[in-house]
Chain A
Amino acid sequence: MIGAYDRVKQAMMLESDRPHVFRQALLACRKGGTVSLAGVYGGYDDKIPLGAVVNKALTVKSGQTHVQHYMQPLLEKIQNEDIDPSFVITHGLPLEDAPEAYETFLNKEDGCIKVVLKPHQTYRKSQINNKPSPEPKYYERRKDMSEEREASQPYKCAVCGAKFDSQEQLQDHLTKCTQKQSQ
């Protein structure tokens, strides 16, 4: 997605962000619509299609989040069980593993979406709540979840790696997969 123009400018430190997504959003947005720019950008970017903004009468809204304005209402939604934000966590790791975790997140390896780090020797949750912590050790829970995912789809195609819930689905797939491979 990032064209040669942006790559060259970023390598020479002449462009400080990656503007290709913002350009695409401005061009794709319906005329009269709104582009909400969550970010994060830090400097100057080239070739922003301002013509699209003006002629399509777009609204661009942005900003670093005014977190304190939202914390109480969103915490109430969590308390009311309208949402459980922990769904987004894929990796729970000790703080000492942070350097490797950054690489994993950056390279989108291992299905990484969100990493949470804990200095597990210093946090005493069970004492604060006056009851034993109901969850197993943080990083072991993450490992359990990935094992559950593996167990739920145990049938794997040896050719392309796709996973299925049953032997029948795998057999159907194998027929098509090997045909495709031989073409």
Chain B
Amino acid sequence: MYNKLIPTMEKGDILGHEFMGEIVEVGSEVKKLRQGDRVVVAFPISCGKCFFCARELFSLCDNSNPNAWMAQKLFGQSTAGLYGYTHMLGGFAGGQAEYARVPFADIGTIKIPNGFTDDQVLFPSDIFPTGYMAAENCNIQPGDTVAVWGCRPVGQFAIRSAFSPSTVFPNASAWPRRVTRRQSTMKRSVSTTL
């Protein structure tokens, strides 16, 4: 979007699709949240009831993109609306602001318990699940070799997710750099230098 490679951005659009905050007001249909709750917001806007949301394919929601005709021209079908992510995907104001409006808030937010800083819990909004889903999509088996292209934020979470397809993640102790990893269980290693 910044380099105009994805179309339909306009001057004055508010960016930001990975955000969290304190709720200052709730709509009449919101049942699970109240004023004062600290929540992290998922970047796809999803109704929770359509064919795709019912199958937990939330980024494919049929009902959350008011500009569906634009996305349909480019993709064949529209997908979910996203915050701050072009007019083609809904024209929603994003989270790089002091306040944000969150549609379908019961579906698209998660409450944060006390005792955790913003830094620790912000990334389930986008990059942590994105890296995790990318790794999960590979159906990684023990002994497989995995290469990651692009080792900035999403890549870092993909790497950590790739090491643990089940429940335990290794502690992230290394400072983020281009990755060269070698493990005794792997038959050969792949270094990524991009």
Chain A residues within CB distance 8 Å of chain B: 1, 10, 16-18, 21, 24-25, 28, 30, 34, 36, 38, 40, 42-43, 61-72, 74-75, 77-79, 82-90, 92, 95, 98, 102, 106, 113-114, 116-119, 122-125, 128-130, 134-135
Cβ contacts under 8 Å, B171 to chain A? 83-84
> Smallest CB–CB gap between A85 and chain B, Å?
4
A123 touches B137 (CB 8 A): no
B57 within 8 A of partner (CB) = yes
A66 touches B138 (CB 8 A): no
Q: What's the Cα separation between A95 and B14 when bound, in Å?
A: 12
The A-contacting residues of B in range 123-175, CB under 8 angstroms, are: 123-135, 137-139, 145, 147, 149-150, 152-154, 156-158, 160, 167-169, 171-172
B27 within 8 A of partner (CB) = no
Q: What's the Cα separation between A74 and B130 when bound, in Å?
A: 11
Q: What's the Cα separation between A92 and B118 when bound, in Å?
A: 11
Cβ contacts under 8 Å, B42 to chain A? 67-68, 71
Cβ contacts under 8 Å, B108 to chain A? 68
A125 touches B98 (CB 8 A): no
> Smallest CB–CB gap between B85 and chain A, Å?
9
Contact A70/B132 with A1-B194, A82-B168, A85-B157 known, Cβ cut-off 8 Å: yes
Contact A106/B2 with A72-B110, A74-B124, A125-B118 known, Cβ cut-off 8 Å: yes
Cβ contacts under 8 Å, A1 to chain B? 194
B80 within 8 A of partner (CB) = yes
Contact A68/B152 with A16-B5, A74-B124 known, Cβ cut-off 8 Å: no
Cβ contacts under 8 Å, A63 to chain B? 57, 59-60, 133, 137
B7 touches A43 (CB 8 A): yes
Total A-B residue contacts, Cβ distance less than 8 Å: 189
Cβ contacts under 8 Å, B46 to chain A? 68
B22 touches A83 (CB 8 A): no
Q: What's the Cα separation between A83 and B74 when bound, in Å?
A: 38
B137 touches A30 (CB 8 A): no
Q: Apart from A64-B79, A68-B58, A85-B120, what are 5 other A-B pairs with CB-CB below 8 Å?
A: A25-B147, A63-B137, A67-B59, A71-B129, A74-B128
Cβ contacts under 8 Å, A64 to chain B? 44, 59, 79-80, 82
Q: What's the Cα separation between A128 and B54 when bound, in Å?
A: 33
Cβ contacts under 8 Å, B157 to chain A? 85, 88
Cβ contacts under 8 Å, A89 to chain B? 119
